[in-house]
Structure 1
């Protein structure tokens, strides 16, 4: 059997490992920040009706510009956005890949403040660019002054700002985004995959788009919309930046079925987002109980909680696994991360963790 080492793989890809969050058929899976709530039945029926219409013409290529979906996304985001300021792809990772293909690539660099989303370095390296990791404060926050200084010193072609940050849940102030934008010459991407779980009065980087053609704000339907299996991500930016992404996308990259399903889901956004409040309630319950158990949960504006004070993360992870609960070891010493699930799933996690008794 041929091994990977025997193939003429690109030199810069040798030694890398693919993204690989554990997948296991356990009763309680809280490791990849999915929305544990199913799509409401009434919304499913509406989506199926639109998909059926799309199937009737599936022998033809889909709308290459996914016009209807872009209009629906612009309407959902608000902030005076128009369809020509919207882009979408098969998950936000593909949207980020389009950005990296257009503005990074061989001989260029991408920068982010570590620890952050583990796919950023992989997407960067996959497009032939070099990943440069900055640093955060001990509580994982970033000050505008330090952020600007690090970006100016690194002089990257692309800056990726995760807000709220994954895997820490840390919020990112708009003053940091502005400082980074002013210090950088390249593209600034604010990844707001978890924005719907932030406090309702939390400002979005979408408010910073006017007059900043180098700024893009990405979102996903995987989390708040419970649409992880549908693979729909999107961004908002200046129309000129959107035009740049057309240069690297594959033809007809969004299927007619994807466009139909996503558009129907957006039409039902109020119903779809009702579950967000319950997820936030369980997130806060997790944080409070973790603290009572002697752990150190970090403040989170997302649908997950990173917690420290774990003597032996690998041991605790395995003990939880053996009890039917799957969470995530993100590689931060003394820490583990858990997704806020349903009330029953949250209870199962907290009871399992309490039975281990391994807080520092």
Structure 2
């Protein structure tokens, strides 16, 4: 029997030890600095707001009238953004991690992740000055397209299953992201070509007038739908990247074992892979929600900045972050308007803190619940 040899690491030089200590100290100082900075921001907001709030300088009715529309607009903007972003981001993450070939994935994933570097002001500029007027002119076509594209994907899936085996190998699911694009473009062109005819047949030639007359919905050029599309485009890369990493971290032996036991690909995804990756997916969605709540420039440039309380996607809104960006430069320190803006900032701070805390608590519970699957967090 051969005795294992004791492996002794080579002694480090004094310079290397000093360098390691310096690096460790800098990392620790950076982490502590971030925590102190966040706590200092919270303390500053509390000091600015609480004396005025409890000292009688602010009336609760005034606070309610000023902040309720902005709070509603913040939640409304985040809601429509997540409605647009979450299905697309999670669908792309599932396809990229589980179905796409490694070669294609290595090219597509960095491209999608690079979208996260696009400044919000650029997205807001394009949404407010380019996309909003275009959608206003082609409203019927855009709304019809939102219905046609999901049905078109389902139709393509049904036709693919009926193809001969040779054609299915050529049009494999691993390359579905490529061969579906021409099909969806064809559906989009057909939809916009037929949209004027459908608008004249069903809505008397003007969908905006019909919405106002029949449903009482006033269509604003810059509205929640524009904000949802633009802000969803901005938060989608971060949700995709985190969810894709979580799905890719699920051990392949779990899926192979499920297939060996007779499970279909959909059953394996739904009952094995998604539960194992659910902590990471939940964290991705919550991080995207946090960014959507705190987004400023996109909401400011694409929403119309109107203090309205409505769930309609065709009307504008005003978020807390946008209100602070617009009014704070003109607010006199110590005035009522200044204190109200500080109170809005404090509410945003508290909301973000609670959302992140809830995300971590739920993620920890999901990790404990599905630890037996061996999935990635």
By the TM > 0.5 criterion, same fold? no
Larger of the two Rg values belongs to structure: 2
Q: Indicate the structure with greater strand content.
A: 1
Band the TM-score falls in, shorter-chain normalisation? under 0.3
Q: Indicate the structure with greater helix content.
A: 2
TM-score normalised by L of structure 1:
0.24
